Amino acid sequence: MKIVVLPGDGIGPEIMAVAVRVLEAASKRFQLDLEIGHDIAGHASLQRHGATVTPALLEKVKAADGLMLGPMATYDFKDEAKGEINPSKFFRKELDLYANIRPARTFPGMAHRVGEFNLAVVRENTEGFYADRNIESGSSEMLITPDTVISLRRITRLCCERIARSAFDLARTRARHVSIVHKANVLKIGDGMFVDICRQVAREFPQVRVDDFIVDAMMAHVVRAPQRFDVIVTTNMFGDILSDLTAELSGSLGLGGSLNAGKDHAMGQAVHGSAPDIAGRNIANPYSLILSAGQLLGWHGQRKNLPAFALAARAIDETATAALQAREGTRDAGGELGTAEAGQSFVRRLLEGR
Ligand code: ATP
Ligand code: MG
C-alpha cells in the first residue's frame, strides 16, 4: 500500500508526526507492505510552489492508494486563480471520495458526557450544500443582487445510492442498524429522494435494521441516548454538523478520526481543524489522526482482501482503548501526556500488542 502524507497547518505537523510513527509501528508488527511518501500541501506548498496543491502532487496522490491529510487553515484561501485551493475539498472531488466515515465512541475509563456509545456517521461527501462554491464549476452559491444570495444544492440518485450502500456495508460489520437522517418534511423532493433510495438499498440488506429521523429531532436523540445508534447515514452538511457533535460527545473533538473513501482511493483526516490556538505547544491530541490512519489501513485490507491490514486496523483501535483507559492520552482526553509522549506510549503498546 502506498500512502502520501501531507502534514497540514497549525497542530497538523505535530499530530501527523505521531500518526506516521503509528503507521510505521503497525507495518513492523504486522509486516505490512507499506510505503509512506512525504509531501506538502496548503500554506507550505503555497509558499514554496505558488499553489496549495500542485499538479505534480495530484499525480503522486493518484498513483498511491491513500493519503493522510493533516488539518488545513483554509480561511484565507479565497482566490483559486491564485492557487489558493482548499486541499481537502480538492482531493475529495478529484478522487471522488464520496463516503465520509466518522466513527465516534466513548473510551472506558474516560469521563464522558452521555454514557457509553459506539456509532459511526456516514456522510455524503461530493454533493449537497458543499459541492462547489465557485461560479466556473457550476456554482451552488450565487450573488444575484448585492443583497441577495441563492444557494443551490444538488442531490443525485447515483450519490444517494452509493452512500446508502457504504452505510449498509459498514452496518453489516457492526451492530446491523442504520438510521437515515434527513429533513424530508421540508426538503421534500431532495431529501425525500435520499430517504427513498436509502430504504430501497435497505432491501438488499435484510439482516440490517433501518429507521429514519428528522435531523433536528436527531440532535436531541443523539445527546439524550447516543447508545441507540449504530450507523447514521446522511447528506453532506447534516453529516458535517452531526459528526462534530458526536466527536465531542465521545469525550473530545481531538478523538474524532475520519476516512474519506472512494472506489480507488481513500483519505484519512481529522474531524477537527488546525486548532491554531494550541499549535506548537505539544498539547494537541494526536488520536484523531491515529484513528484515521487505522481506518485507512482497514479500508485497504477490506478492498484488497488483505487480512494483515485488517488486523493492523483492529490493533490500532484496541490500542487506543487500552492506552486511554490507562490515561496515556493528552489532557483533553483525561491524560497528562504531551502530544509526542502520548504518541510514544501508543507506539510502545502497539508494538507489544497490549
Ligand atoms: P480551523 O479554522 O482550522 O477549523 P479552529 O480555530 O476552528 O481551526 P478547530 O481545530 O476546529 O479550531 O478546534 C476547535 C477547538 O477544539 C479549539 O479550541 C481547539 O483547541 C480544540 N481542538 C481541536 N482539535 C484538537 C486536538 N486534536 N486536541 C486538542 N484540542 C483540539
Ligand atoms: Mg474549526
User: If you measure from the C-alpha of residue 176 to the centroid of ligand 2, how many angstroms do you get, rounded to a whole number?
Assistant: 32
**Please, are residues 292 and 270 in contact by the beta-carbon 8 Å criterion?**
yes
Nearest atom in ligand 1 to the alpha carbon of residue 287 is 27
Q: Which residues of 253-283 are buried (b: 16+ CB within 10 A; e: fewer)?
A: bbbbbbbbbbeebbbbbbbbbbbeebbeeeb
Mean pLDDT of 88-114: 91
Q: Which of 66-80, 96-110, 319-333 has the weakest average pLDDT?
A: 66-80
Ligand minimally distant from the alpha carbon of residue 279: 1
Pocket test for ligand 1, best of 253, 287, 331 (most atoms within 8 A of CB): 253
Residue nearest to atom 17 of ligand 1 (CA): 275
Range with the largest mean pLDDT of 43-52, 53-62, 248-257: 53-62
Cα 312-316-322 angle, rounded to 5 deg: 135
Q: Does residue 23 register a pLDDT over 90?
A: yes
Residue 263 DSSP symbol: S
Across the chain, what does the average pLDDT equal? 93
Residues facing 120 on adjacent strands: 103, 231
Q: Give Cβ neighbours of residue 286 (< 8 Å, ≥ 6 apart).
A: 14, 15, 18, 19, 254, 330, 339, 342, 343, 346
Ligand minimally distant from the alpha carbon of residue 71: 1
Q: Does residue 136 register a pLDDT over 60?
A: no
pLDDT, one tens digit per residue, over 296-352 is 999 999 999 999 999 999 999 999 999 999 999 999 999 999 999 999 999 999 999
Q: Give Cβ neighbours of residue 186 (< 8 Å, ≥ 6 apart).
A: none
Mean pLDDT of 143-168: 92
Residue of higher predicted confidence among 20 and 144:
20
Q: Does residue 137 register a pLDDT over 50?
A: no
Q: CA 225, CA 237: separation in Å to the nearest integer?
A: 22
- Grid coordinates belonging to 124: 455524503
Percent of the chain whose predicted confidence (pLDDT) is above 90 = 84
Mean pLDDT of 104-115: 86
pLDDT, one tens digit per residue, over 215-266 is 999 999 999 999 999 999 999 999 999 998 999 899 999 999 999 999 999 9
Residue nearest to atom 5 of ligand 1 (CA): 275
Q: Provide the ipTM.
A: 0.91
Q: Return the pLDDT at 131.
A: 52
Q: Return the pLDDT at 333.
A: 92
- Grid coordinates belonging to 38: 512525504
